[in-house]
Structure 1
Amino acid sequence: MITGEIKIKIDQIWDTFHVSGITNPITVLEQMTYIFFMKMLDDKQLQEEDMARDFDIEIKNPTFLVGQNWLNPVTEQEVPYESMRWSVFRHTGPENMFQMVRQNVFEFIKTIGTGEESAYSRYMQSATFLISDARTLTKVVDGVDALDMNNRDAMGDVYEYILGKMAASGTNGQFRTPRHIIRMIVDMMQPTPADYICDPAMGSAGFLVEAVKYIKEHHERALYTAESVKHIKSSLVNGYDTDPTMLRIGAMNLLLHDITAPELARRDSLSEQNNDESCYTLILANPPFAGSLDKGNVNKKILAYADTKKTELLFLAQFVRSLEVGGRCASIVPDGVLFGTSKAHIAIRKELVDNQQLVAVVSMPSGVFKPYAGVSTAVLVFTKTNSGGTDKVWFYDMQADGFSLDDKRSPIAENDIPDVVNRFHNLADEANRSRREQSFMVSVDEIRANDYDLSINKYKEVEREKVTYEPVNDILSRLKANETAYLSGYNALMEMLEEGVNE
């Protein structure tokens, strides 16, 4: 958790952008990300220089070459590398710093493409620097300079706090699945250092970051072997998005959590350009529910699972396709996926139940994604087998997630999430639960008999208590008695008023 002092500093930086006229939350975050990166590059080299002095060794592949110039491809002028370092330009005065950052440093970070920083920098080509005056840049640089970029745990918390501000602002909140829901899903799936994890619609990389945090918390030994560390920082994490802005934000989120070289790409996961097939062991996702798209652009191998234009169905098909046998998936889906009656809806559910192993359906309350959307959603959990294996499916009816279900989403005491995770990891104890309880098992035969309907209300038993009302004659007698009493009082009052008038 970040401290109150750091929150105040971040809030001040955020407010500085707003005062300068940059009010779109995602634009504010993007511009802050550029400044973060500039400082991280210099901080990293300062650390390497200290290490080189202490151990009398040379720095390998320094970002800023000592005594050499960089050729600016825009201005075609040579600029000393040293002048573009954070520790140098921030002491040159507001106007000089502004010119250096806007004309040179920003263009420089757009050209970096090797080393650990490439995961972020390779998506910089289309970036635009929008800070328009020296005063604003000075305030932002002063605020960021107070942050310790070398403390990745702290900076990870800082970035997640900023992402939370972006969501809380009411704009672009669709890019961020609530963190506690992400954590619930990750806790259910328990990723390991041996996994190859993918989010084909990564947005700000929340699922990927949380998965890495889980691994670091529960598999500390993996952090002490060079092979495991290399895997965690690179091939463990795979993510795709069609928006270069979100790729930059997601890459920075991962970088600040010490994932320096993840496999990220600008890609439409449903198109022909996506060749992923049988290559991941775990998929964690909240894919976009865009409704319909041009079916002509959809990969034909995906359409083989479900011939449809509905993105929520196509993504499920792609998840099946891209998992290796034995691979697992946990995906948020709109409730319509669970009970839709179209051929495509039934086909994808049939695929999960008959050809794969459908494990669980967790129905979430409709307010989880407020204030951005009130749609009801669920979490589908399945394992790819290509040979069936579904025997019973576990259903859970989540009623509360620790926050009010209105637009304010205020913290409350009621929270089913710990119970969801606990019961999911003890499914053997769920077998004999009544359909009247919050969770229960449903046999695959019953699901097939109901056209593969996966909505919990199809199987949940509602306990109805018999209400006994008093006889009608008694009610009428009581009404008559009340009426008599009322008229008696009314007449007494009228008599008192008339006597007063006569006097």
Structure 2
Amino acid sequence: MLTGEIRNKVDKIWTDLWAGGITNPLTVIEQLTYLMFIRTLDEKDIETESMEALTGESMSKIFPLNEEGQSMRWSNFKTKDARIIFDTIKDNVFPFIKTISNDKTSAFTRYMEDAIFLIPTPQVLEKIITGLDELYEHEIQDLDMQGDLYEYMLGKLATAGQNGQFRTPKHIRDLMVQLMKPTPDDTVCDPACGTAGFLVSTAEYVRDEFGASMTTEQWDQFATKLVSGFDTDRTMLRLSAMNLMLHSISNPDIDYVDSVSKQNNISNKYSLILANPPFTGTIDATSIHDNLKTVCDTKKTELLFVALFLRMLKTGGRCAAIVPDGVLFGTTKAHKSLRKEIVENHKLEAIISMPSGVFKPYAGVSTAIIIFTKTDVGGTDHVWFYDMKADGYSLDDKRSAIQDNDIPDIIARFHNLEAEQERKAAEQSFMVEKSAIVDNDYDLSINRYKEIVYEKIEYDAPEVILDRLSELDKQIASKMDELRGLLK
């Protein structure tokens, strides 16, 4: 977690950009991301040079070895005069990073083509470089802290509501990844990827859990094919590509696609989908892909995306997605047909109800995580329900860290579902038989099945209560008489 001091320093950098005339939060984070990326490229070359010194073998580097190439490295220009730094980045470094990928068709190359360097003056740029360098050298040296820094900046972006989507908090994304346990051999997709949060969490998990034992082929898969993402906002795609490259995904499969439209024909491709698709939106009915309408004929994006997940998964593929509560209990024909499709023709495994404060301060919507496996032949027998009451943060707009946290319990119980069979519906987690779900018209709301236990409270007899009130009246009258005596 970032300390208050680090947050203040980030806020200072943010303020310097605002004072320089860049007031759009999306633009601020985009420009900061460029500079973070430039610094990281230099760090990668420094690591390569260290390896060369250890092994004695020459290795390929990012920056050209000539004088101009070396002048573009962060460590070489950061102490120069502000004007020299500004000209170096604007005229040399920025054009260089736009063409850094050897693959001219790569996501990074495509989405960097229309990137613009917008920092207005040498003085503003010098302040930002000094501030970032201080953070990286003294405050956020390890990768986890760098990730926290990026998350903090993304939080500012989401709070401002610039992209019209809900940014999923990192601890919720990490929860979903730990529930699904992706492996190096998985192909993971987020069809509404935003800034690639789920894909980054996936990459971090795979690297941490399997990095020491992965083969060369698996590392190649990790760098190119492990994760894929789609979005309809080119700025988001640009941030996604850089975010993934900063996490060792050298050639991310990120594409400009309206996922639920006729533009997207992908089916039976991915082994895992992790997503938080757009909520409460509608789109033009004529643009919706026909095979999604066969599952649920609707214009509501939250339903269309779940139908899309079923189509894009290969048989045996798994999905963990965040959906608004309305998807679980909505009474329209489209809502019911989608839930019936999952329960009857695939394997619905779990519904994890989350408190409405999870997305505060920028949204108070109630949501749940739905987990299922695509089978095309059914397989739902029991569905596991969990009533999350706390996620480690307060549920108000401040979202301060607190002790109460159900996430470790959720992970432990999900990976030991056999032990959940005997739990009662009055407990925080429990199993529900498929027959009960069918009888309830495929309603998947946890409140439909949760048993509420009312505690019996015994009250005193009315005569006792009246006697107690009379005694209180006498005490009040006595005190009033004392007060009157003081006034005489």
TM-score (norm 2): 0.88
User: Structure 1, unaligned stretches of length 5 or more?
Assistant: 68-79
What's the counterpart of residue 124 of structure 1? Answer: 112
- 1:25 and 1:172 in contact (8 A); partners too: no
Q: How far apart in 1 are the matches of 2:44 and 2:477? A: 90
Q: Distance in 2 between matches of 1:482 and 1:58?
A: 91
- 1:179: which partner in 2? 170
Question: Is structure 2 residue 349 aligned with structure 1 residue 366?
Answer: no
Per-residue deviation, 1:9? 6.0
AA partner of residue 20 (structure 1): G
Give secondary structure in 2 for the equivalent of 1:390: coil
User: CA shift at 1:268, angstroms?
Assistant: 1.2
Instruction: Return the offset for 1:63.
Output: 5.3
* Structure possessing the higher radius of gyration over alpha carbons: 1
Q: In the aligned structure 2, how far is the partner of 1:18 from the partner of 1:338? A: 42
Identify if the C-alpha distance between structure 1 residues 261 and 474 changes in structure 2 by more than 3 Å, giving closer, same or farther: same
Residues 476-495 of structure 1 aligned to structure 2 (within 5 Å): 476-483=466-473, 486=476
Question: Secondary structure of 1:212's match?
Answer: helix
Q: Tell me the CA shift for residue 350 of structure 1.
A: 0.5
Q: CA offsets per residue over residues 239-263 of structure 1, 9 Å max, x none?
A: 1111111112222222222111121
Residue 163 (structure 1) aligns with: 151
Q: Write out aligned runs for 1:345-356 (5 A).
A: 345-356=335-346
Residues 1:188 and 2:179 aligned together? yes
- CA 1:47–1:162 in 2, change beyond 3 Å: closer, same or farther? closer
Seen in structure 2, the aligned counterparts of structure 1 residues 487 and 384 have a Cα distance that, compared at 3 Å, is same
Q: Distance between the aligned counterparts of 2:240 and 2:271, measured in 1? A: 21
SS of residue matched to 1:374: coil
Task: Give the alignment partner of residue 226 of structure 2, picking from 236, 239, 247.
Answer: 236
Q: Distance in 2 between matches of 1:183 and 1:463?
A: 33
Q: 1:36 to 1:294 in 2, by over 3 A?
A: same
In structure 2, the residue matched to 1:452 is 442
3-state secondary structure, aligned to 1:396: strand
Question: Following TM superposition, by how much is the alpha carbon of 1:90 offset from its aligned partner in structure 2, in angstroms?
Answer: 4.9
Task: Please tell me whether residue 28 in structure 1 is matched to residue 19 in structure 2.
Answer: no
Map 1:7-26; keep pairs closer than 5 Å.
10=10, 12-26=12-26
Structure 2 counterparts to residues 398-477 of structure 1, below 5 A: 398-477=388-467
Moved more, 117-126 or 310-319: 117-126
Across the aligned residues of Structure 1 and Structure 2, the Cα RMSD in angstroms comes to 3.2
Of 185, 193, 199, which aligns to 1:202? Answer: 193
What one-letter code is carried by the residue in structure 1 that aligns with 2:313?
A: L
1:327 is paired with a residue whose SS is strand
Contact kept? 1:204, 1:246, Cα under 8 Å = yes
SS in 2 for 1:283: strand
Amino acid at match of 1:381: I
Question: Alignment partner of 1:247: what SS?
Answer: helix
Aligned 8 A contact 1:116 1:260 in 2: no
- Per-residue deviation at 1:50? 7.5
Contact 1:120-1:248 at 8 Å conserved across structures: yes
**Aligned AA for 2:397?**
D
**Percent identity (aligned):** 49
Q: Which moved more, 1:205-214 or 1:280-289?
A: 205-214
Q: Unpaired runs of 5+ in structure 2?
A: none
Q: Answer yes or no: is the 8 Å Cα contact 1:313–1:348 preserved in 2.
A: yes
2:385 to 395, 419, 429: 395
CA shift for structure 1 position 471:
3.0
Distance 2:391 2:101 in 1: 42
The amino acid that maps onto 2:37 is F
- 2-structure distance, mates of 1:142, 1:484: 73
* Alignment CA distance shift 1:471-1:51 (3 Å): closer
- Compare 336-345 and 465-474 and name the one that shifted more: 465-474
Does the 8 Å CA contact 1:403/1:409 hold for their aligned counterparts?
yes
Please give the TM-score of this superposition, normalised by the length of structure 1. Answer: 0.86
Distance apart, 1:154 and its partner CA: 3.0
Q: Deviations over 1:458-496 (max 9, x none)?
A: 0111111333333334433444454456557657876x5
The letter for the 1-side match of 2:457 is V
User: Which residue in 2 is equivalent to 1:94?
Assistant: 82
Of the candidates 308, 314, 323, which is equivalent to residue 318 of structure 1?
A: 308
Q: CA deviation at 1:142?
A: 3.6
1:330 maps to which of 320, 329, 332: 320
Does the 8 A contact of 1:198 with 1:239 survive in 2?
yes
* Residues 1:222 and 1:119: Cα distance change in structure 2 (over 3 Å): farther
- Closer/same/farther in 2, CA of residues 115 and 222 from structure 1, 3 Å limit: farther
8 A Cα contact 1:2 1:154, kept in partner: no
Residue 86 of structure 1 deviates from its aligned partner by 4.6
- Per-residue deviation, residues 222-275 of structure 1 (Å, max 9, x unmatched): 43x210111111101111111111112222222222111121111111111212
Provide the C-alpha distance between the structure 1 equivalents of 2:136 and 2:477, rounded to a whole number of angstroms.
81
Distance of aligned partners of 1:314 and 1:111 in 2 relative to their CA distance in 1, 3 Å threshold:
same
Answer yes or no: is the 8 Å Cα contact 1:193–1:222 preserved in 2.
no
Find the aligned partners of 1:482 and 1:95 in 2 and give their Cα distance.
80
